[in-house]
Amino acid sequence: MNKLFVLAGGFGTRLSSLVSDVPKPLAPVAGRPFLTYLIKNWVAQGVQDFVFLLHYEAWQIQELLNKISDYPEFSDINFTCVVEDIPLGTGGSILNALKQLEIKESILITNADTWLESGILALSREATNVIASVGVANCQRYGALTFDGDKVAGFMEKSKMKGSGYVNAGLYHLDPNVFESFEFGSCFSLEEDIFPDLVSSNELRSIKLSGKFSDIGVPDDYLDFCSWMEIREKNDF
């Protein structure tokens, strides 16, 4: 399976009222850092090679990964960390890691603040430049995707979208060539710079996923996820 790039360098300012002493991926959930649940879920889906893209409080995430590496169940899992000296944005951080690690093959990319029940195997089997989308009851927080068949036709702004629809689930399978026009070390965004170009050239596809989806980036959703996971843990997750 492809390497999984994990975007984990953000500051988590929207969650700071509840979680201020650790970076967002380490927010406590049912007695454990959120990231431990993600890694367990990703490994269960077949991922064995991780690249963590870090900046804010990188050492704390590296410390957790070192502990996880010592667990017998993760003895065959490879964790690589690339730490940015300055924030490079979601796109810039990926380009930085591609160059540093000299990666030429396609990569899977996901967020370290989003729980997505499944989809990694499905995306890894797809041709490149595809994103996962998931249906939600209220798109206003995220903005919604519009489609032309399996192609992504556009991204509706958050302020213009109400009601149910499909949103970007934060899981991608991309060809490194999509980053070629950007300068190494520059700051840019997947969502604002890469994806609009792919949409305009009719190159971005989507597969629709089902299952639990949660972005813990804001307090209400974080607390909802904590409650959900506590129930799941009691049922021997």
pLDDT in tens, 72-92: 988 899 999 999 999 999 999
Q: Looking at per-residue confidence, does 206 or 19 come out higher?
A: 206
Q: Give pLDDT, residue 21.
A: 76
**Contact assessment for residue 105 and residue 2, using Cβ atoms and an 8 Å cutoff:** yes
Residue in this structure with the two tokens 């990926």, named with its chain if needed: 94
Q: Give pLDDT, residue 204.
A: 96
Per CATH, domain 4-133+170-208 is 2.40.70.10: no
Q: How far apart are CA 196 and CA 32, in angstroms?
A: 37
Q: Coil, helix or strand for 218?
A: coil
State the CB neighbour count (10 A cutoff) for residue 39. Answer: 25
**Contact assessment for residue 57 and residue 22, using Cβ atoms and an 8 Å cutoff:** yes
Rg (CA), the chain: 17
Residue 237 pLDDT grade (very low, low, confident, very high; cuts 50, 70, 90) = very low
Domain spans, the chain = 4-133+170-208
Q: Which of 147, 199, 221 is nearest to 133 (CA)?
A: 147
**Contact assessment for residue 141 and residue 158, using Cβ atoms and an 8 Å cutoff:** yes
Size of the chain, expressed as the number of residues it contains: 237
Q: Give pLDDT, residue 235.
A: 66
pLDDT at 158 over 70: no
